[in-house]
Structure 1
């Protein structure tokens, strides 16, 4: 296989992995940091009423279409009531029913809201329907028609027509027509907005009243929650799409901090028998864990995005994979140190397994325990050499002694009150036995210096791998974005063709750089001239 094919394959893998990482970061909004936080809001609707009879039914409109936001959690608090949900055009409603209600009643609805990601943006797609025109008597009918004709002369399309109508109704110095019409709806925003929708229906313009809350950003410290006022907005259809207008300022467009609560046009609260009641809203802004919020947002958007991922595993299995996914990181570090730097180690993946044990024992204590166990094991191995045992029986004997040494160190450290010594049992026993065997063979064949250097190299690689593998931001990044391992896979493919000098070889042969031909014979001295 040519190098070009290998490089193109590695490039394709890197591009695919980078695209997946970017999608999860920007679209799914998975955090890059383990302690990242995201702003959420807790919205609460409090219904309070005094029943006039024992059997009561309370209907509260709930959010359904929420452009720019996602409802990730809902709670209903209504003691002794039954909750019956129902979906309607543009919204939902809950019906609380009770057979016997005595005394003041308190009902609560609470929702946790977070900003929606770009891929889950919800657009307003209600069917354009004309509201019932108002039934006006004279002189109100003539005043309304005169006002609508004047507005038509100062507008160019449907949206500007509605904005001009709102502006005329909001003028401080109202005209005679506006002053007369205002007697029909009073000073309430909700009543005026409903009347504007009816006036637009006279000119065959579909419009509807929607209700929403303004969400303020979280401030410093703990936000105890503030009472919010439910406000009305207008939706006007121009034949192609809906346009939102602020009936107070005539501003066009949906504010970024507006949470659309209800768009059905129905009253927010309806109680059977119309007893005295109040509906209060509270908004609390705070910060929440970004990872948990992103996971919950995905469950609301598409549960399959979570079901077929590591996030769907039980918590115990997730913790296991948090460790297993770091093993390739340690193996890649070992690849760099061996193939590029030239560090000699015992075995290929032995330093990585030792680094995993260091995660439980800590670095200094782990190295100390490793040296103690391997040191005693070498002494026993040198003694067994004189008995001339075969390889398999010798390894079995060493493994038995390693286990006994680990148990002895644990018991001794426990008597001395050193809890770290109890973690020696986490070292891979077979790996320890093979380390002792290979170190003793290297001692016999290549000398004590080579064996000690390779042992030190193993500890250096294991220590560096431990430092990297125990870094919490990297552990979080690899678990949330396992596609990072594909990037390491591509780099490993590229480094697999590297056959140049290692760093230690450049240091060993630096004399060749100073003297390009050290074995060439010295130039001959000129012979002295002889006189005739």
Structure 2
């Protein structure tokens, strides 16, 4: 069991991280790439009317869970009005009220909608067979004949409605011609289709919506037919019988009623406008999480203050740099001064640039090492000697900053971004290695430290990695799992294979 403890821990950590990552990326739509934008639409309805005296109530249907779309934001714009939103049958309506209106009035409803990649099914309970309409002759006999002919050429409710709509658009016999004419509008055709479908006991209703287009001023609502197939409502295009709404169609309200109802007002007019909008994909995912009542976004770094977010953008990359150091030391075999010194130096390189940072680091360490050898002759104790080295490092950094400023070398000013204590400890460690193992080992470990710091820097400045670890911090569990896995590695290092290749050749 002890032998399986670590593998099981690695699998659990990886499983938790991948599960959270999948939910946020696939279900909530958090972007995998930085600065990714999502297409959405800003839809606005302007409702204007003329008061006739007294308190005014304006009721206006607004979208609710439109098929294929998600409502991200809603804004109600009106001055001096009270506002409530209430469900009304299959619709939702906004109710504006005011007591003493004066002159022409206008209220606005604005929403941001987002096309869903996987449209949700309109799961609605089956209302049951509808009652047949009471028609007089010859309409009654004609309706029965139309229903009979359509039933012979259809297989289910959806195909029945499709065949019926196509026959209505191209009436071939006198029975259909009693109900439709070439001048009928879509609304009249849908009204007739609902009546004929009722003759077959099929529940149907009228739906209205707008086409989302870049030329989106003064849009007119389009009317569609919806039939219930005992499982869900299915949309039918009244022009050609096509099944399903287009991807860029927003269902606004349902029913054979106007979208506006007024009390003590007249001359209601509605103007629909649409604008194409691009929004940061992270913001869209956060809003989508709110719509889905997901608590995942509440525990995201995106909810922290901006200053704290910027701090964690850096801190989240430190574990990744630490894993890279483990890989390069335990598997590749590079030697470094200290365990975490290279990753801290790499963080400094983010501000100084790679080449300038290497030059400044080498210069500070070389000068500090020379002064450290001088302090050795003074026979100081350890703590005073370290304190002296820290003071000397700060003086060297100050001198380099002043000198570079006078010479017009702006990169020299960034030397203050190096961690001074780490520099002091590095100088102390290099002097000890120099005394115990000679300058060759010191130079080898120094070059190894800079090489590891450079690799960490190149990884940590990658905008894709920065974005992934900030938006998906659960990936740190993968980093932890890989670090634990590397902690069990006891095989040959790559540098050892190069060093001892002569022994392998001798055996052959």
- Which of 238, 255, 274 is the equivalent residue of 1:247? 238
User: Which residue does 2:113 correspond to in 1?
Assistant: 113
Task: Supply the distance in 2 between the matched residues of 1:98 and 1:452 (Cα, whole angstroms).
Answer: 82
Task: Supply the distance in 2 between the matched residues of 1:203 and 1:2 (Cα, whole angstroms).
Answer: 70
Shift of 1:28: 2.1
Task: Supply the distance in 1 between the matched residues of 2:462 and 2:211 (Cα, whole angstroms).
Answer: 41
User: Which residue does 1:70 correspond to in 2?
Assistant: 70
Task: Supply the distance in 2 between the matched residues of 1:287 and 1:393 (Cα, whole angstroms).
Answer: 60
Shift of 1:388: 1.0
User: Which residue does 1:211 correspond to in 2?
Assistant: 208
User: Which residue does 1:383 correspond to in 2?
Assistant: 374
User: Which residue does 2:25 correspond to in 1?
Assistant: 25
1:95-174 to 2 correspondence within 5 Å? 95-116=95-116, 118=118, 121-125=120-124, 128=127, 140=139, 143-144=142-143, 147-148=146-147, 151=150, 157-173=156-172
Task: Supply the distance in 2 between the matched residues of 1:322 and 1:460 (Cα, whole angstroms).
Answer: 23
Shift of 1:40: 1.0
Find out whether 1:443 has 2:434 as its counterpart: yes
- Which of 393, 397, 414 is the equivalent residue of 1:406? 397
Task: Supply the distance in 2 between the matched residues of 1:376 and 1:160 (Cα, whole angstroms).
Answer: 86
Find out whether 1:497 has 2:496 as its counterpart: no
Secondary structure at 1:276's aligned position in 2? strand
1:142-291 to 2 correspondence within 5 Å? 143-144=142-143, 147-148=146-147, 151=150, 157-173=156-172, 175-182=173-180, 187-215=184-212, 223=214, 225-263=216-254, 265-273=256-264, 275-291=266-282
Task: Supply the distance in 1 between the matched residues of 2:226 and 2:470 (Cα, whole angstroms).
Answer: 44
Q: Are the equivalent residues in 2 in contact too, given 1:132–1:198 (CA < 8 A)?
A: no
Find out whether 1:45 has 2:45 as its counterpart: yes
Task: Supply the distance in 2 between the matched residues of 1:359 and 1:224 (Cα, whole angstroms).
Answer: 46
Task: Supply the distance in 1 between the matched residues of 2:507 and 2:149 (Cα, whole angstroms).
Answer: 97
**CA distance change for structure 1 residues 152 and 457 in 2, over 3 Å: closer, same or farther?**
closer
**CA distance change for structure 1 residues 330 and 160 in 2, over 3 Å: closer, same or farther?**
closer
Task: Supply the distance in 2 between the matched residues of 1:298 and 1:260 (Cα, whole angstroms).
Answer: 22
**CA distance change for structure 1 residues 208 and 375 in 2, over 3 Å: closer, same or farther?**
same
Secondary structure at 1:259's aligned position in 2? strand
Shift of 1:239: 3.5
**CA distance change for structure 1 residues 233 and 483 in 2, over 3 Å: closer, same or farther?**
same
Shift of 1:476: 0.5
Q: Are the equivalent residues in 2 in contact too, given 1:67–1:124 (CA < 8 A)?
A: no
Q: Are the equivalent residues in 2 in contact too, given 1:65–1:90 (CA < 8 A)?
A: no
1:228-274 C-alpha deviation (Å, 9 max, x unpaired): 43222222224343333222222334444432222355421223356
Task: Supply the distance in 1 between the matched residues of 2:482 and 2:160 (Cα, whole angstroms).
Answer: 62
**CA distance change for structure 1 residues 139 and 501 in 2, over 3 Å: closer, same or farther?**
closer
Q: Are the equivalent residues in 2 in contact too, given 1:40–1:115 (CA < 8 A)?
A: yes
User: Which residue does 2:291 correspond to in 1?
Assistant: 300
Mean Cα displacement is larger for which, 33-42 or 263-272? Answer: 263-272
Task: Supply the distance in 2 between the matched residues of 1:336 and 1:239 (Cα, whole angstroms).
Answer: 60
Find out whether 1:487 has 2:478 as its counterpart: yes
Task: Supply the distance in 2 between the matched residues of 1:224 and 1:246 (Cα, whole angstroms).
Answer: 22
Secondary structure at 1:95's aligned position in 2? strand
Task: Supply the distance in 2 between the matched residues of 1:26 and 1:156 (Cα, whole angstroms).
Answer: 36
Q: Are the equivalent residues in 1 in contact too, given 2:123–2:231 (CA < 8 A)?
A: no
RMSD of aligned alpha carbons? 3.0
What is the count of residue pairs matched by the alignment? Answer: 508
User: Which residue does 1:314 correspond to in 2?
Assistant: 305
Q: Are the equivalent residues in 2 in contact too, given 1:131–1:208 (CA < 8 A)?
A: no
Secondary structure at 1:515's aligned position in 2? helix
User: Which residue does 2:345 correspond to in 1?
Assistant: 354
Shift of 1:55: 4.5
Q: Are the equivalent residues in 2 in contact too, given 1:49–1:277 (CA < 8 A)?
A: yes
**CA distance change for structure 1 residues 248 and 412 in 2, over 3 Å: closer, same or farther?**
same
User: Which residue does 1:510 correspond to in 2?
Assistant: 501
Q: Are the equivalent residues in 2 in contact too, given 1:159–1:238 (CA < 8 A)?
A: yes
**CA distance change for structure 1 residues 102 and 177 in 2, over 3 Å: closer, same or farther?**
farther
1:478-519 C-alpha deviation (Å, 9 max, x unpaired): 1222233322322222222222222222222222233228xx
User: Which residue does 1:528 correspond to in 2?
Assistant: none
Task: Supply the distance in 1 between the matched residues of 2:231 and 2:32 (Cα, whole angstroms).
Answer: 40
Note the residue ranges of structure 1 that are not aligned, 5 or more in a row: 217-222, 518-532
Task: Supply the distance in 2 between the matched residues of 1:57 and 1:429 (Cα, whole angstroms).
Answer: 70
**CA distance change for structure 1 residues 416 and 293 in 2, over 3 Å: closer, same or farther?**
same
Shift of 1:355: 0.8
What is the TM-score with the length of structure 1 in the denominator?
Answer: 0.85
Shift of 1:280: 2.5
Task: Supply the distance in 1 between the matched residues of 2:265 and 2:37 (Cα, whole angstroms).
Answer: 44
Q: Are the equivalent residues in 2 in contact too, given 1:82–1:97 (CA < 8 A)?
A: yes
Shift of 1:142: 5.5
- Which of 384, 390, 395 is the equivalent residue of 1:393? 384
Shift of 1:69: 1.4
What is the TM-score with the length of structure 2 in the denominator?
Answer: 0.89
Note the residue ranges of structure 2 that are not aligned, 5 or more in a row: none
Shift of 1:474: 0.8
